Amino acid sequence: EVQLVESGGDLVQPGGSLRLSCAASGFTFSNYNMNWVRQAPGKGLEWVSYIGTGGYTIYYADSVKGRFTISRDNAKNSLYLQMTSLRNEDTAVYYCARDYRSSWRYYFDYWGQGALVTVSS
């Protein structure tokens, strides 16, 4: 059974930093691209970042570019999101999500339960 379990969510002050982790199990982690997707309270879904299987192909949403860093450790079956210069508007539940993509089809087939990040003074 595919499982994705996020951890590291917390209350942090504006300008602060936080690192989220996502532990994967039930599939060969190193064979799959991964993503972070977030959801602000009462709002919709927003894609945040993507990382390829080897960790070399990386994309970010404009809203987090230069502040967030995605990484992975295939030996530990883990995905990470290092967040710096946090803003109030970064307050959200952050989900890690397994990626599927082909020429015309891009989607997330499995999601974790989410980690709540609250940015507030």
Partner 1 sequence: QSVLTQPPSVSGAPGQRVTISCTGSSSNIGAGYDVQWYQQVPGAAPKLLMYGNDNRPSGVPDRVSGSKSGTSASLAITGLQTEDEADYYCQSYDVSLSTVVFGGGTKLTVL
The closest of 37, 12, 11, 41 to 22, measured between CA atoms, is 37
- Structure tokens belonging to residue 25: 């199990």
Taking the CB of residue 78, how many other CB atoms lie within 10 A of it? 18
Q: How far is the CB of 90 from partner 1 (least distance, A)?
A: 18
- Structure tokens belonging to residue 80: 């990470």
Q: How far is the CB of 121 from partner 1 (least distance, A)?
A: 27
Q: Is 17 a binder of partner 1 (CB under 8 A)?
A: no
Q: Is 89 a binder of partner 1 (CB under 8 A)?
A: no
Contact code string over 30-69 relative to partner 1, x by CB under 8 A: -----x-x------xxxx-----------x-x--------
How far apart CA 60 and CA 14 sit, in angstroms, is 20
- Structure tokens belonging to residue 33: 């691209």
Nearest residue (CB) to partner 1, 104 versus 121? 104
Applying CB under 8 A, the residues found at the interface with partner 1 are 35, 37, 44-47, 59, 61, 95, 100, 104-114
